Chain A
Amino acid sequence: MSEAQLFDGQPVIEFDNPGDRRNFLKWAGIVGVGSTLAAAAVTNPFASAQAGGDVDILNYALTLEYLEADFYKQGVAGDLLSGRERELVVPIAEHEAAHVSTLASTIEDLGGKPVKKPKFKYPEATFNDKATFLKTASTFEELGVTAYHGQVTKIKNVDLLAAAASIAGVESRHAAILADLTGGNPFPAPVEATATMQEVLKAAKPFIAG
């Protein structure tokens, strides 16, 4: 189905309504994901309508938070985790859900339109065992951290910067705990790394490809 053709033609994210798809494609236009679609977005008058840079950034963050929230919801629903691991990961699921609603209402407060929750598809084995789930979680968290830090200097409204930073700090906590749980390095560098929208979308691809 053409609506879902985003990453190299692989069905990845399905949007409920065409407006959200347009919004997403607008980022694709900004970051150059999928040349054909990007070109279409650029010439689409609706796609370039109003909504300043901050709303775009928040919708980008919202989509990543949707992905995380959805991912953890599935992950903690089963019996994969127990004991301390479960105690540490369940709140993460709650945080991501809270980030979704905070970002969505912030976008509305700004007069923007929050992107609706896309449908995500995960590689089949993602929730089969604890190790795969936690490893994937760790990857998402590190990706989320670099995604937020990549937008720090692009946000114009200082209150939004504070809001985004207050979320980003929590993502850093998640990332460190998941690195610890999976035998990774909780402190990969003295300063958080950054990633552009293009890099983030590209990195997210293998994990959300159906």
Chain B
Amino acid sequence: MDRRSFIKGSVAVVPATMALQMLGQRFAWAQSADFSSDEDVLNYALTLEYLESEFYRQGNEASLLSGKEAEYLNAVGADEDAHVAAITDTINKIGGTPVEAPGVNFGEAFANRESFLKTSHTFENLGVQAYLGAAGFIKEPAILQAAAGIFGVEARHAAVVGNLLGLPADNGVYMGATETPLAKDEVLAAAQPFLAGAGAMAGGAAVTR
């Protein structure tokens, strides 16, 4: 079974032991040379959080939602703002330099309620996979703890937004019995359409595809 088919969610039919071995392998793949330091991982995360934070700022301002949906997406946006602040703070504390917010272009994402929620769902699941794919690079336990804590909240967001969209429980609200990590180059490729300007993504210039 190749990596693609695994990512599509066939994990449920894989015997547990094998699944775990594969999980280890996928983790090992991510450990090639994607990040050289905790600061690298944090700046990667920061760029994604900037992207999400700006996405919700614009989306929530567009008044596409009402009632509980509006409440939820405002809370999600506030979480992303908090992630930006916390990660920036952490980078400063370890003597690093936080990247600037990237230029963004969300296209038709705010055309209506559904496009807003669908794009949100994509971002949240991408965030979950990005954190899981990068976790193995983090050396400082306190940073790992924080990254894991953020990862879990992104998973909450993804599930709830998936449910607001009325997606199927399997592979809509939940993405299998285990989360699937994604390597940096794949995350960047998925995020690229929303980024405006050359070198907008942290480490983007280093990615040759």
Contacts and interface: CB of A to CB of B under 8 A. Distances in A.
Main SS of the interface on chain A?
A: helix
A46 interface: no
A190 B153 contact: yes
Contacts of B176: 95, 170
Contact of A170 (B150, B174, B181): B174
A186 B178 contact: no
A126 interface: no
Interface string A141-162: 0000100010011000011011
Contact of A88 (B78, B128, B169): B169
Most B Cβ at <10 Å: residue of A99, A163, A193: A163
Interface in B67-100: 72, 75-76, 78-79, 82-83, 86
Given A88-B169, A170-B155, A162 B132 contact: yes
B24 A192 contact: no
A152 B131 CA distance: 14
Interface in A99-121: 99, 101-102, 104-106, 108-109
B169 A105 contact: no
Nearest to B140: A153
A30 B169 CA distance: 38
Given A102-B20, A186-B160, A192 B152 contact: yes
B161 to A, nearest CB: 10
A70 B101 CA distance: 46
Interface string B83-123: 10010000000000000000000000000000000000000
A171 B173 CA distance: 12
Contact of B16 (A90, A102, A149): A102
B197 interface: no
A95 B155 contact: no
Interface in B1-23: 12, 15-17, 19-20, 23
B151 interface: yes
Contacts of B159: 172-174, 176-177, 186
B199 interface: no
B206 interface: no
Nearest to B83: A190
Main SS of the interface on chain B?
A: helix
B20 A190 contact: no
B136 A162 contact: yes
A165 B151 contact: yes
B163 interface: yes
Most A Cβ at <10 Å: residue of B144, B149, B157: B149
Q: How large is the interface on A (under 10, 10 to 19, 20 to 34, 35 or more residues)?
A: 35 or more
B132 A169 contact: yes
A106 B160 CA distance: 30
B177 A98 contact: yes
Contacts of A167: 177-179
B24 A163 contact: yes
Interface of A: 87-88, 90-92, 94-95, 98-99, 101-102, 104-106, 108-109, 145, 149, 152-153, 158-159, 161-163, 165-177, 180, 185-187, 189-194
21 contacts: A98-B177, A145-B152, A152-B141, A158-B136, A161-B136, A167-B177, A167-B179, A168-B148, A169-B179, A170-B179, A173-B156, A173-B174, A176-B156, A176-B157, A180-B160, A186-B72, A186-B156, A187-B156, A191-B150, A192-B150, A194-B145
Given A109-B17, A153-B142, A174-B174, 12 more contacts: A87-B169, A108-B17, A149-B145, A161-B136, A161-B144, A165-B135, A168-B151, A169-B151, A170-B155, A176-B157, A176-B159, A192-B152
